Amino acid sequence: PCNPATCSGGGGGDTPAPTPSPTPGADDSTRSSTCGCSSCTDAVKSRNVYDSAGDFTCGARISWKVTNDGLSEDAACAFVTNEFPEDSTCGPCNPATCGGGEGGDDGGTNNNPVPDDACGCEECTQEVWDLDAFGYTCGGRINYLIGEGSTQLAACRQVAGIEFFGICGDCDPQRCGLRTGDEDFGPPGSLLWSEEFNTGSTIDESMWNYDLGSWGWGNQELQDYTESNARVDNGALVITVERNGDYFTSSRVNTIGKFSFLYGEVEAMIKLPNLANGLWPAFWLLGANFYQVGWPVCGELDIFEMGIGNAVNDGTVNRRVGSHAHWDNYGSYAGWGESIDLDSNVNDGQFHKFTMSWTPDQISTAIDDKPIWEFGITNPEAFGGQEFHQPYSFIVNVAVGGSYTGILDASGITAPFPAELHVDYIRVYRNEHTVG
- At 26, is the secondary structure helix, strand, or coil? coil
Whole-number Å distance between alpha carbons of 73 and 181: 35
The DSSP string of 369-432 is TEEEEEEE-S-HHHHT-GGGGS-EEEEEEEEESBTTTTB-SGGG----SSEEEEEEEEEEE--T
Same domain, 363 and 298: yes
Residue 2: predicted pLDDT: 54
Q: Is the pLDDT of residue 24 over 60?
A: no
The reported pLDDT for the residue numbered 53 is 59
In this structure, of 7-11, 166-170, 191-195, 220-224, the range with the lowest mean pLDDT score is: 7-11
- What backbone phi and psi angles, to 5 degrees, belong to 264? 155, -175
| H helical segments located in 195-267 | none
247 in the same domain as 136: no
Residue 116 placed within a domain: yes
Q: How many helices (H) and strands (E) does the chain have?
A: 10, 21
Residues 162 and 246 in one domain: no
Q: Per-residue pLDDT for 402 more than 90?
A: yes
Q: Does 328 fall in a domain?
A: yes
Look at residue 86 and tell me if it is in a domain.
no
Residues 356 and 213 placed together within one structural domain of the fold: yes
Closest to 395 in 3D by CA, of 235, 249, 192, 257: 257
Q: Rounded mean pLDDT of 22-36?
A: 46
Q: Which pLDDT does position 330 carry in this prediction?
A: 80
> Is 92 in contact with 41 (CB distance < 8 Å)?
yes
Which residues are paired to 213 by β-bridges?
225
What's the average model confidence in pLDDT over 14-40? 49
Specify the CATH number for the domain of residue 320.
2.60.120.200
164 within a domain of the structure (yes/no): yes
Preceding peptide of 113 cis, ω within 30°: no
> How many other CB atoms are found less than 10 A from the CB of residue 259?
23
Residue 283 has pLDDT above 70, yes or no: yes
Contact criterion met (CB below 8 Å) for 435 and 185 = no
Same domain, 372 and 332: yes
Residues 6+ apart with CB under 8 A from 149: none
Could you tell me the pLDDT band of residue 383, with boundaries at 50, 70 and 90? confident
Average pLDDT over residues 207-225: 96
Q: Which of 137, 171, 205 is the last residue of a domain?
A: 171
**By residue range, what is the domain housing residue 157?**
102-171
Please give the residue that has the higher pLDDT: either 112 or 119: 119
Same domain, 303 and 163: no
Same domain, 119 and 222: no
Beta strand 370-376 with 362-367 is antiparallel
- Check 83, 163, 300, 420 and give the catalytic one: 300
**301 occurs within a structural domain:** yes
Inter-residue contact 61 to 69 (CB < 8 Å): no
Note whether 145 and 212 are same-domain residues.
no
- Phi then psi for residue 16, to 5 deg, are -60, 160
Domain identity same for 162 and 279: no
Domain for residue 6, yes or no?
Answer: no
DSSP tag of 262: B
* 305 catalytic residue (yes or no): yes
Same-domain status, 228 and 161 = no
User: Is the per-residue pLDDT at 99 higher than 60?
Assistant: no
Same domain, 165 and 196: no
Determine the Cα–Cα distance for residues 105 and 109; give it in Å rounded to an integer.
9
More confident residue, 151 or 421: 421
The closest alpha carbon to 294, from 205, 218, 203, belongs to 218
pLDDT value at residue 27: 39
Decide if 425 is inside a domain.
yes
Are 399 and 154 spatial neighbours (Cβ–Cβ below 8 Å)? no
Asked whether 263 and 433 are in contact (CB, 8 A), the reply is yes
Structure confidence at residue 436 as a pLDDT band (50, 70, 90):
low
Model pTM score: 0.65
Which of 96-110, 184-198, 277-291, 402-416 has the weakest average pLDDT? 96-110
Query: CA 189 to CA 186: how far, in whole Å?
Result: 8
Residue 400 contacts residue 250 (beta carbons within 8 Å):
yes
Catalytic status, residue 420? no
Residues 162 and 203 grouped into a single domain: no
Catalytic residue among 163, 305, 387, 420: 305
pLDDT tens column, 284-342: 999 988 988 899 999 999 999 999 999 999 999 999 999 999 999 888 899 999 999 99
Q: How many domains does the chain have?
A: 2
Instruction: Quote the mean pLDDT of the chain.
Output: 84
Q: Do the domain assignments include residue 166?
A: yes
